[in-house]
A = this chain, B = another copy of it.
Amino acid sequence: MENEIIQWIYQAAEKIKAALNDELVIDEKNGRTDLVTNVDKETQDFLVDKIRTYDPDAHILGEENGQDQTDISNGRVFVIDPIDGTMNFVLQKENFCIMIAVFEEGIGQLGFIYDVMRDDLFWGGPKLGKVFHNRKELPKPANTKLADGLIGMGVSLVTGENKFHTKEIGREAMGVRILGCAGLDFIAILKGTQNGYISRLSPWDYAAGIVMMQQFDMAFSGFQDQPLSFNGREFFKGGTQAVMSEITEYDI
């Protein structure tokens, strides 16, 4: 299955890169900083079509086109984010990802995060027992503490009230990074170049990332250690076991 998915991702990326030369059709979803473009929608349709052909019985949980209310625990579910980091896609034409995850009866089996413009694919999970960076196996990062690494944060956590203790957590860390694309934050965690991430995310933002984090025995959860709901946008925290213990002390 992983070979098929990788092919779909590379094909989708070619379509996205070709579309960068054309005028984008941009719509707002929930406010002016939550955008969707014709390319997000077309890429989701392309991936959905591939999935339907490959496995007509599979369910799909996806960001666009009203496919965002699928029970993660029932059968095989493909979770797809055709363009993660749409704002970067629109304003930067780089720093965005294609993400796909495969869950079986609620268990994450495979995750794929593709940084399109850097041609960097991270993929793997429990089904393979490994995580790969392109064709090379990725080593598991060290279990570093907050004070020994960089923590990624979602924009809205930093521009909002300080209810998620972003200032305290940021000062405890060696620094804060804001990349504007969950996929890039998960890539950084898997590479070990960031050791934690807190944000507000939807299921398609975190599905692929957590499958690969699980393979590395890293930790993640919703607010106050609740399991992630896979249902709508929610608080997300994840990172090394050490960082997660420290963040949890802030009661978030």
Chain A residues in contact with chain B, CB under 8 A? 32-33, 87-88, 91-95, 147, 149-150, 153, 155, 158-160, 166-167, 170-171, 174-180, 188, 193-194
Contact = CB atoms under 8 A, between A and B. Distances in A.
A176 B150 contact: no
A155 B180 contact: no
Contacts of A194: 92
Nearest to A94: B193
B180 A158 contact: no
Given A92-B193, A193-B92, A87 B170 contact: no
A155 B171 CA distance: 9
Given A174-B87, A175-B87, A175-B155, A180 B150 contact: yes
Where chain A touches its partner, the secondary structure class is mixed
Nearest to A178: B178
Contact of A33 (B167, B174, B177, B180): B174
B170 A155 contact: yes
A98 B37 CA distance: 36
Given A150-B87, A159-B170, A175 B92 contact: no
A176 B154 CA distance: 9
A176 B158 contact: yes
B91 A150 contact: yes
Closest 9 CB pairs of A and B: A92-B193, A159-B170, A178-B178, A155-B175, A159-B171, A159-B167, A155-B176, A177-B178, A175-B180
A174 B91 CA distance: 9
A169 to B, nearest CB: 9
Given A91-B150, A150-B91, A150-B92, A176 B159 contact: yes
A175 B33 contact: yes
A177 B176 CA distance: 10
